[in-house]
Structure formats: C-alpha cells, structure tokens
C-alpha cells in the first residue's frame, strides 16, 4: 500500500521572527492538503514561536546531541527540542557530516537519543560527487544506512536520500536513479518512508515524485519561499491522487 506522502522543509541557518508569516502561510496550505504530512525543520530559535502560531504542520529541529544534557556548550538535546515543541529532528544531514565531521557511529547515538526522547527522525544519507562518479553510490548509501541505524527498526524513522552533489545547486539525479536508490533503501530498511532531497523545485517536483518512486521530499532553499514550497506541496497532492485513481 502506498505510504502517506511527506514533505519536509529544511530552513538550515535561515530565518528569524520576521519569517513567521512564511511558516503560517505554509501551515495554512498544509491544512488545505491534509493527505500530505508537512513539516518544517527550523533553526532552534524559531521552534517554540513557530509552534505557537502554526498548527497545520509539524515542527522539527535540524540536529540534536546524543546525550540528554551535560557540559556541551552550544549543543541542544533531543528532549530540549521536544520541550520547545518539535516532533521530529533531521539527523545525518550532509552539511553536518561534512562541516562537523559527523560519522555514522555518532549519528546512530543521536538517533537512539532522539527516539528515546519521543522525536521522529528523518535520517539523511547520500553519496558525494566523487563517490557518484566512481559508481559507489549504492555501496555508500547502504553503509550509511546500516551503520547509522545500527539495528534500530524503522519505527518513527524516515529516510532522506540527498546526494551531496545535488544539494544547493541546480543539478538533480534522473528520476530513474532516484527510483533505484529508493529501491535499495526499501530493501535495506523495511517500512520507512523515503524522501528525496537536493534542488527540488516546483518545476522538477512532480517528475521526481512520480518517476523517482519516493514518498516525498526534503526541500532546502525552496522551503524558504512559501509560494514555491506550497507549489511543491500541491504537486505532490495532485500526483498522489492521480496515482491512487488513474483515469
């Protein structure tokens, strides 16, 4: 059976109180498209305020520490995110893996902490341009999955396939490549929702969703623009209806 579609925005290190109208507009659109689960992963400083103004979508964090508390200056625990109103957290994003040298062992510890605190997790995996060129994408993604999940089942977990080379630019994989990777992820972890991330726009969204065989998207830049993000939401909702009742 097809899974409920899932659309998640990752604001990265963008946004302040002046952007709450964008959150509200996206929340209102999410209420108009109840067949799609919508979430925004916001900077930690915005989580509580966003939760207060907006009921139509889930609010998430972008990372958490593996420990519940302690002498970790500048970090935030899963329980703190939860208390601020987050219901999910991104883990293993390539910007954390590369800029902060996070490895799969650390990501696995964070994942256990997040689940223990009652947060859903969107675990991000994806190969670098170098691995892609060398034909190692499947090997890299399989390894990231098995090491980061470290025996955890799929309960409360979604997987985001984000090829590093497709993030923040204008290149995306062919939908067939996305479909092959979605198949690999499904064979490795059963029962999870799989989303694609990397330069998703209103123009390429429908093809990546339908022909890429994914359950939705993790969207960066275009989630900062309510109009663009809502257009992606609409295209997922429409495509889901067309798939479930072909004419």
Residue for token pair 């915005």 = 46
| Near ligand 13P in 165-184, by CB under 6 A | 167-168
Q: How far apart are CA 188 and CA 163, in angstroms?
A: 18
Q: Which is nearer to ligand 13P, 79 or 235 (CB)?
A: 235
Q: Does 114 bind ligand 13P (CB under 6 A)?
A: no
Q: Does 218 bind ligand 13P (CB under 6 A)?
A: yes
User: Is there a contact between 209 and 174 (Cβ–Cβ < 8 Å)?
Assistant: no
Neighbours of 208 (CB within 10 A): 25
Q: Is 93 a catalytic residue?
A: yes
What is the distance in angstroms between the CA of the first residue and the CA of the last residue of the chain?
19
What the block records as the tokens of 43 is 């900077």
Q: Is 127 a catalytic residue?
A: no
Q: How far apart are CA 228 and CA 48, in angstroms?
A: 24
Q: Does 199 bind ligand 13P (CB under 6 A)?
A: yes
Q: Which is nearer to ligand 13P, 106 or 218 (CB)?
A: 218
Q: Give the one residue of 221, 228, 229, 233 binding ligand 13P; rule: CB under 6 A.
A: 221
Q: Smallest distance, Å, CB 199 to ligand 13P?
A: 4
* Catalytic annotation, pick one of 95, 102, 127, 162: 162
The mark string for 6-35 relative to ligand 13P (x by CB under 6 A, - otherwise) is ----x-------------------------
Which pairing describes strands 216-219 and 193-197: parallel, antiparallel, or unpaired? parallel
Q: How far apart are CA 58 and CA 74, in angstroms?
A: 24
Q: What three-state secondary structure class fits 13?
A: coil
Helix (H) or strand (E) holding 15, with range, is: none
The mark string for 123-142 relative to ligand 13P (x by CB under 6 A, - otherwise) is --------------------
Binding site residues, ligand 13P, CB under 6 A: 10, 93, 162, 167-168, 197-200, 218-222
Active site residues: 93, 162
């Amino acid at each position: 059976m097809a899974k409920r579609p899932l659309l998640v925005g990752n604001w990265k290190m963008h946004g302040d109180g002046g952007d709450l109208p964008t959150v509200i507009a996206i929340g209102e659109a999410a209420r108009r498209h109840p067949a799609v689960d919508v979430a925004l992963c916001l900077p930690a400083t915005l989580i509580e305020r966003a939760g207060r103004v907006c009921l139509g979508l889930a609010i998430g964090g972008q990372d958490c520490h593996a420990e519940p508390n302690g002498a970790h200056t500048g970090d935030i625990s899963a329980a703190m995110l939860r208390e601020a109103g987050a219901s999910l957290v991104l883990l293993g994003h390539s910007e954390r893996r590369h800029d902060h040298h996070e490895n799969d062992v650390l990501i696995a510890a964070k994942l256990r902490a997040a689940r223990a605190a009652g947060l859903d997790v969107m675990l991000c995996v994806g190969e670098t341009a170098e691995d892609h060129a060398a034909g190692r994408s499947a090997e890299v993604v399989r390894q990231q999955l098995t090491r980061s999940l470290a025996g955890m089942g799929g309960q409360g977990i979604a997987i985001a396939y984000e090829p590093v080379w497709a993030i923040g630019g204008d290149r995306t994989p062919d939908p067939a490549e996305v479909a092959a990777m979605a198949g690999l992820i499904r064979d490795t972890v059963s029962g999870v929702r799989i989303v694609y991330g990397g330069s998703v726009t209103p123009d390429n969204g429908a093809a990546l969703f339908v022909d890429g065989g994914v359950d939705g998207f993790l969207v960066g830049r275009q989630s900062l623009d309510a109009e663009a993000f809502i257009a992606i939401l609409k295209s997922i909702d429409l495509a889901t209806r067309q798939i479930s009742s072909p004419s």
